[in-house]
Amino acid sequence: MGRYVIRRLVQMVPVFLGATFLIFVMVYAIGDPVSGLFGDRGPDPATAQALREEFDLDEPLPLQYVLYMGKIFTGDFGTAFNGQPVTQLMEHAFPISFRLMLVALVLEVVLGIALGVITGLRRGRSLDTSVLVATLVVIAVPTFVLGTTVQYVLGVKLGWIDPAVSPDPRLDELLVPGLILSLVSLAYVTRLTRTSVAENTRADYIRTAHAKGLPRRRVTVRHLLRNSLIPVVTYLGADVGNLMAGAIVTERIFNIQGVGYQLFQGILRQNSPTVVGFVVVLVLIFLLANLLVDVLYAVLDPRIRYV
């Protein structure tokens, strides 16, 4: 098990470097980090040159990347448009987005698996059909449409929630935004769990469990559930990326000043250190989440562990 984790970690390193390099190329080679800062007027040559030196822009691109990564590992993410260090923005933004994603993830996992198990065990009944239709609708209607509508109805018309959350929101303020963020993933988790449960109820080892005279409840909880969760766990890894993307949309709708908000400010103001810094950290989180999922996968499925 330990060896498995270490092997995964080692495999992660080139992927992390490759992915961040791609982002770096997008920003520093395709975009122009200096002239972007000055809008249409264009910078005066002396300032531009100073900036170019600060960003090591006169070096070849791979070297720029190496220098940039070197700075990152010493904790220097550069300066944001308002003169603050990027790390300071991160300190404020990440906890907020983390809370939002936590709410979403918990809702997605708990509700999604519960609904999936219930419908998977009762295929073809009316509850199953209605949940299935609901998941399709949720997947088809874009989050931002659903989000703005819910915000308008609950926040503006009915006044049940604040249409915009406070600058440092508590978990309960994030409940509705978190639900909106989780909906699409929730629908996918439900469908995946349902299929998986439905398939596994017909598995030979479930028949064996019944033949052993185990109570129905035990068959479901001990034998069916764990096997059925394996594909769901795999999905959760990829889904962390979806949640990040969804968080950008949700934060924009509910005016939450998290990672998505800061990233957007960075893009609007063409501040490359902010954009690259945030994205690099997000990629790292994404990869670590996937590593965690792989480990969880191995815990659930011993066949993986011993390969």
CA 7 → CA 224, 233, 302, distances in Å?
Answer: 30, 20, 17
Residue 158 engages other proteins in binding (rule: CB under 8 A): no
Residue 16 engages other proteins in binding (rule: CB under 8 A): yes
Which listed range, 43-51, 99-107, 136-144, 174-182, lies at the site for other proteins (CB under 8 A)? 136-144
Instruction: For residues 227 and 301, give the distance between their C-alpha atoms in angstroms, rounded to a whole number.
Output: 8
Question: Which two three-digit tokens encode residue 23?
Answer: 């982002």
Angle value at C-alpha 27, between 21 and 29, nearest 5 degrees: 85
CB of 46: closest distance to other proteins in angstroms?
Answer: 25
Residue 14 engages other proteins in binding (rule: CB under 8 A): yes
- Residue ranges in 179-208 that form contacts with other proteins under rule CB under 8 A: 195, 199, 202-205, 207-208
Strand partners, 85: 79
79: left (phi over 0), alpha (psi -120 to 50) or beta: beta
CB of 211: closest distance to other proteins in angstroms?
Answer: 4
Alpha carbons within 13 angstroms on the beta-carbon side of residue 8 total 19
CB of 34: closest distance to other proteins in angstroms?
Answer: 13
> Applying CB under 8 A, which of residues 49, 87, 242, 255 lies at the interface with other proteins?
242
Q: How many residues bind other proteins (CB under 8 A)?
A: 70
Give whichever of 103 and 298 is closer to other proteins, judged by the CB atom: 298
Residue 7 engages other proteins in binding (rule: CB under 8 A): no
Radius of gyration of the chain (CA): 23
Residue 223 engages other proteins in binding (rule: CB under 8 A): yes
Residue 5 engages other proteins in binding (rule: CB under 8 A): no
Residue type for position 120: G
* Helix then strand then coil, % of the chain, to nearest 5: 80, 0, 20
* Burial class for 256, CB neighbours closer than 10 Å (0-12, 13-18, 19+): buried
Binding site for other proteins (CB under 8 A): 11, 14-16, 18-19, 22-23, 26-27, 30-31, 136-137, 139-145, 148-149, 152, 156, 195, 199, 202-205, 207-215, 218, 222-223, 226-227, 230, 238, 240-242, 244-246, 248-249, 252, 263-264, 267, 275, 279, 282-283, 286-287, 300-303, 306
